Amino acid sequence: MANPQILNIGTDSTYYTSSGSRTSSSYTVTAPATANTVVFIVGLDDTTTGADLIPTIAWGSRTAKINLAMIPTAGTPNYRFVKVVSFDVVGEGAISETATLTFSVLTSRVDVLGVYCTDGYVQSASVDPQKSGEDAGYEAVFTGDSANTSCISFQCVDVTGVVYTPVQGTEVFEASLSSFSAYGMVQTTPSSGIHTIEYTSTANNDHSNASVILTSRSNLFLGDGTETGPVIKHNVIT
């Protein structure tokens, strides 16, 4: 096994965006035949307290493996809404199908759908809001299996036309839009067992982050069918 890779950066692994008054956004999303998993991370230029602003993200007839939204229930948050959804596409071949984001209310806010096609599988995911943004981002991740894992990230910020520069890791997409910007990265090369993602940006404001750990192990709990438990030997004396 090896560190999972992000496939076809700039073509299949890219971003889509829409604005204008609507109750949904639809995009034709492609994935190569070599993909095992496709991760959607979507940012919406709106805030939420106790409600999922995008309750449904559909891509064909597939059932999402992960459906993780940032839904704060306390305080007066001003950070952007973000959601992570992943789909198992093992054995499907090349894909080109409509992905539809359905909003809970009529919106005219910009959404950014970041798409990460990978030959790996999702191990874990998290979202993290930041009340006050910085002009640089840094994330260090320990997985305990650095030779077979990678880390992808998504950051969206309530500001216009940010220019991002990768420092550690590889840029997957950069969506520098009017009033809303998003950035996607991947780190497939750990150092001393740590995956580090780092970038700089030209502006800052309230923002939200999402991170996903990818693994090359198709079944993390069964060890890909390899026996890993203790072996009991019986000596029979006759």
How would residue 131 be classed by pLDDT, with cut points 50, 70 and 90? low
Average pLDDT value for residue range 5-28: 97
How would residue 138 be classed by pLDDT, with cut points 50, 70 and 90? confident
Residue 222: pLDDT over 70: no
Task: Point out the least confidently predicted range of 23-27, 97-101, 108-112, 199-203.
Answer: 199-203
Average pLDDT value for residue range 173-193: 94
3-state secondary structure of 4: coil
**Residue among 155, 118, 115 at smallest CA distance from 139:** 155
Considering the entire predicted model, what is its pTM?
0.90
Residue 161: per-residue pLDDT:
78
With tokens 């990768």, the residue in question is 166
Structure tokens at 172: 């997957």
List the 56-59 sheet strands across, edge first: 22-31, 95-107, 56-59
Average pLDDT value for residue range 100-126: 97
With tokens 């390899």, the residue in question is 226
Average pLDDT value for residue range 137-142: 91
* First CA to last CA distance, the chain: 45
| pLDDT tens-digit readout, 64-90 | 999 999 998 887 677 889 999 999 999
C-alpha angle with apex 122: 121 to 128, nearest 5 degrees? 155
Residue 84: per-residue pLDDT:
98
How would residue 205 be classed by pLDDT, with cut points 50, 70 and 90? confident
Sign for the pseudo-dihedral over CA of 44, 185, 160, 50: positive
Residue 229: per-residue pLDDT:
43
Residue 76: per-residue pLDDT:
66
Q: Which one-letter amino acid corresponds to residue 11? A: T
Average pLDDT value for residue range 39-67: 94
Residue 19: per-residue pLDDT:
94
Upper half-sphere CA count for residue 11 (Cβ side, 13 Å): 8
Transcribe 37-66 into DSSP letters.
EEEEEEEESS--SSS-S--EEEETTPPPSE
Using a pLDDT cut of 70, give the percent of the chain over it: 89
How would residue 6 be classed by pLDDT, with cut points 50, 70 and 90? very high
Residue 230: pLDDT over 70: no
Distance, in Å, from the CA atom of 64 to the CA atom of 134, rounded to the nearest integer, reads 32
